[in-house]
Structure 1
């Protein structure tokens, strides 16, 4: 039976000559994959534009529980980005984050809080001009929905332990983070996107913290692999 849901495009791959397979995070059922027949046919040239990475869609789907690929009966934009796919730097963020999200989002079940977070955060990025540190806070907040958000209570002298997810006052340990990353983590915890402008970082500081976050994801998600786009992404924001 056709059902309506919102969906965010995580990945896409061309299939055969004219078809497209997309993976979406949907509001109604979490991770879902769709086969878009004839997406590349000239007479349907407008169709492919809907399925850019991290696009927010309103779809009517034909969903059958026993199938791995489902079908979209109707599609329209749920939110039209003004800069996310046209600004070169923002497009780099989109490519990187879509790869991360494809890697970490595995649940085929409804998670409205996570969907709302992705939707709101991406709309914020689209509208902002000061976004150099967006991906750092985005990934940190994402860990709350994945189940390993860092402990928020700590003493000034405590150092974050990536393995336990807690701040500890035990001196150095194998998963202790650097002093600079420790300070930045404490600044970002509990911060809203609207306050990001107060964080001033140089490129090497941003890259060091991102590297730490990637290691943190690896420790807590056994299937996580560092994105292939990470090196290019760091060069763009150098």
Structure 2
């Protein structure tokens, strides 16, 4: 089936000596995997390896097969030319972390999700255009839970002395998988972050690391397939 769709590049892995297997989140059909044969040898043509930088936003024409098989891209154009993501070291580290993170949580069988695609596109463009981005990945992971269906229930936030990571809600009694005290305070601060005031949220490197670890635990408890990104160490060093 021939499809014209917007697509966000999640990852690109070398296949053989000259090809790439590219994972994209498309606006039309969700996650799709593509085989780009010989692209590493091509200097001209409708496809270029530079188009498939992680989190690139593309307009593609593609041939989609049944789920579970590799698809083909016949033409690709950059929908949003990046201004800073290719050249800013911190942003590059965030991009590679989010690329690995999204590869773990977005699966082909989940299909289309317009809200998720719009969130990914808008967040990536925001990252490209703004300078104060040290807390961006925290806000991104929190907002992503809304799209995936397990955003924390804040109903009893004012009354809860604990937050249950497994149940995803505030509670008044101690139990397993709960956070409290300073961890809960930092978690609450993170939930209150807004994109337009990211630069006003003051986390030091230790606090940022605590919040990120809590969010990764939250994902681990809610997504069976989730793996902690290996690129986390690199991002942590860049943020020091």
Inter-partner Cα distance in structure 1 for 2:82 and 2:239: 22
Matched, 1:218 2:226: no
Q: Name the structure 2 match of 1:113.
A: 115
Matched, 1:103 2:104: yes
Alignment coverage as a number of residue pairs: 237
- What is the DSSP-based 3-state SS (H/G/I as helix, E as strand, rest coil) of the residue aligned with 2:74? strand
Per-residue Cα deviation, 1:156-192 (whole angstroms, up to 9, x for no partner):
553211011011111x333222423322332333543
Q: Is the 8 A contact 1:152 1:189 kept in 2?
A: no
Root-mean-square deviation (CA, aligned residues, Å) is 1.7
Q: Name the structure 2 match of 1:197.
A: 199
Moved more, 200-209 or 35-44: 35-44
Structure 1 portions without partners, runs of 5+: none
Inter-partner Cα distance in structure 2 for 1:29 and 1:190: 32
User: Residues 219 and 157 from structure 1, CA distance in 2 versus in 1: closer, same or farther, beyond 3 angstroms?
Assistant: closer
* TM-score when normalising by structure 1: 0.94
Q: Name the structure 2 match of 1:19.
A: 19
User: Residues 184 and 156 from structure 1, CA distance in 2 versus in 1: closer, same or farther, beyond 3 angstroms?
Assistant: farther
Inter-partner Cα distance in structure 2 for 1:189 and 1:103: 22
- What is the DSSP-based 3-state SS (H/G/I as helix, E as strand, rest coil) of the residue aligned with 2:226? coil
Measure how far apart 1:230 and its partner are.
Answer: 1.2
Per-residue Cα deviation, 1:208-235 (whole angstroms, up to 9, x for no partner):
1101111111111111111111122211
Q: Is the 8 A contact 2:32 2:108 kept in 1?
A: no
Q: Name the structure 2 match of 1:122.
A: 124
Measure how far apart 1:198 and its partner are.
Answer: 2.2
* TM-score when normalising by structure 2: 0.93
Residues 1-238 of structure 1 mapped to structure 2, 5 A cutoff: 1-44=1-44, 47-65=48-66, 68-108=69-109, 109-153=111-155, 154-155=157-158, 157-170=160-173, 172-189=174-191, 191-238=193-240
- What is the DSSP-based 3-state SS (H/G/I as helix, E as strand, rest coil) of the residue aligned with 1:49? helix
Per-residue Cα deviation, 1:99-155 (whole angstroms, up to 9, x for no partner):
010000014411010000000001001111111101001001111111111012221
- What is the DSSP-based 3-state SS (H/G/I as helix, E as strand, rest coil) of the residue aligned with 2:140? helix
Q: Is the 8 A contact 1:38 1:44 kept in 2?
A: no
User: Residues 164 and 37 from structure 1, CA distance in 2 versus in 1: closer, same or farther, beyond 3 angstroms?
Assistant: same
Q: Is the 8 A contact 2:6 2:28 kept in 1?
A: yes
Q: Is the 8 A contact 1:19 1:39 kept in 2?
A: yes
Inter-partner Cα distance in structure 1 for 2:23 and 2:197: 32
Q: Which runs of 4+ in 1 moved over 6 A?
A: none
Structure 2 portions without partners, runs of 5+: none
Q: Is the 8 A contact 2:7 2:27 kept in 1?
A: yes
